[in-house]
């Protein structure tokens, strides 16, 4: 497989991103290594090709945002909004991630080996997010679809105003948000969890250690009691 190296101490980030936005047929199957990311913002955003990108250090805001198809590995930590609005593909953060990781993501898989900050998977719209550590407060706020797996603990107001996304937490939950409740682990959800643990390198962890949380469906459904208000 062809491997290309970019050193962001030498090459301007815009030049790298423009290369990554070239015709997908020219990029397909390539491996791209990015050294000295040094916390720069917007590294490898908007990818649309079947490429493997490795960021060899700490990334700044919005790394691998809007990702499609591509596989991106961040060997250090990621700033706010990593893999935000991802459509497909896979983003793997080996360190920790700051706030709003995977926000509004519609597809693909986001793996964070360390902790994630606040508002992780906020407004999740269909992607899968697996966090090896703990997540901060307001995680999965208004999450609509998709799955979030947390191997550590969750902060305050988990799943506040959640729609039909699934949340699986192995550790403790400091508090649940409005309309978020613990739900029974049915076979369908159990299988989702088993698959995600396998895909994210945690196959040895038993799904039995997890609790499942989801929507009580009292906030977003039309209630006949309210008919007079309209």
Partner 1 sequence: MCGIVGLLVKNQKMRTNIGSLMLPMLIGMTERGPDSAGLAIFGQPVADDERKFNLYTSDMDFNWQKLSHDFLTHLGSKVVNFTQKANHAVLTTHLEPTTVKTWLKEHYPQVHLLSIGQLMDIYKDVGTPAQVAERYGFEQMSGSHLVGHTRMATESAVTPAHAHPFTAGQDWCLVHNGSLSNAHNLRRKLNHEGIQFETDNDTEAACRYLEWRMREGDDLKTALEHGFDALDGFYTLLMGTKDQLALVRDPFACKPAIVAEHDDYVAIASEFRSLAHLPDIKNAKVFEPSPQEMYVWKV
Q: Site residues (CB under 8 A) for partner 1?
A: 36, 38-40, 57-58, 60-61, 76-77, 79-80, 95-96, 98-99, 117-118, 136-138
Widest distance between CA atoms in the chain: 65
Q: How far apart are CA 70 and CA 163, in angstroms?
A: 28
Q: Which is nearer to partner 1, 43 or 51 (CB)?
A: 43
Burial class (CB within 10 angstroms; exposed 0-12, middle 13-18, buried 19+) of 144: middle
Shortest Å, Cβ 114 to partner 1: 9
Shortest Å, Cβ 185 to partner 1: 30
Q: Which is nearer to partner 1, 74 or 205 (CB)?
A: 74
What angle is formed at CA 196 by the lines to CA 188 and CA 199, rounded to 5 degrees?
A: 140
Half-sphere exposure of 27 (CA within 13 A, CB side): 20
- How many DSSP H helices and E strands does the chain contain? 3, 11
Shortest Å, Cβ 39 to partner 1: 3
What are residue 170's phi and psi, to 5 degrees?
A: -85, -40
Q: Which is nearer to partner 1, 65 or 146 (CB)?
A: 65
Distances (CA, A) of 175 to 83, 156, 167, 181, 204: 26, 5, 14, 10, 28
Shortest Å, Cβ 20 to partner 1: 20
Shortest Å, Cβ 25 to partner 1: 34
Q: Which is nearer to partner 1, 63 or 109 (CB)?
A: 63
45 in Cβ contact with 62 (< 8 Å): yes
Q: Which is nearer to partner 1, 177 or 214 (CB)?
A: 177
Shortest Å, Cβ 100 to partner 1: 10
Q: Which is nearer to partner 1, 61 or 210 (CB)?
A: 61
Burial class (CB within 10 angstroms; exposed 0-12, middle 13-18, buried 19+) of 224: exposed
Q: Which two tokens stand for residue 71?
A: 């596989």
């Amino acid at each position: 497989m062809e491997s290309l190296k970019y050193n962001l101490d030498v090459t301007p980030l815009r030049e790298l991103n423009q290369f990554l936005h070239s015709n997908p047929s020219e990029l397909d199957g390539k491996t791209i290594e990015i050294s000295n990311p040094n916390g720069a913002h917007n590294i490898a955003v908007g990818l649309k090709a079947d490429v493997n990108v490795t960021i060899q250090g700490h990334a700044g805001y919005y790394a691998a945002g809007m990702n499609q198809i591509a596989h991106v590995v961040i060997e250090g930590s990621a700033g706010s909004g990593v893999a935000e609005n991802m459509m497909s593909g896979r983003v793997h953060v080996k360190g920790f991630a700051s706030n709003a990781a995977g926000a509004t993501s519609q597809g693909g898989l986001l793996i964070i080996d360390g902790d994630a900050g606040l508002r992780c998977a906020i407004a999740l719209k269909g992607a899968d997010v697996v966090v090896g550590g703990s997540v901060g407060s307001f995680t999965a706020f208004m999450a609509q679809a998709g799955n979030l797996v947390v191997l550590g603990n969750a902060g305050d107001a988990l799943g506040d105003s959640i729609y039909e996304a699934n949340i699986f937490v192995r550790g403790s939950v400091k508090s649940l948000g409005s309309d978020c409740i613990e739900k029974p682990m049915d076979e369908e959800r159990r299988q989702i969890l088993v698959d995600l643990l396998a895909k994210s390198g945690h196959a040895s962890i038993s799904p039995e250690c997890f609790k499942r949380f989801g929507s009580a469906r009292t906030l977003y459904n039309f209630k006949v009691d309210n008919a007079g208000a309209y």
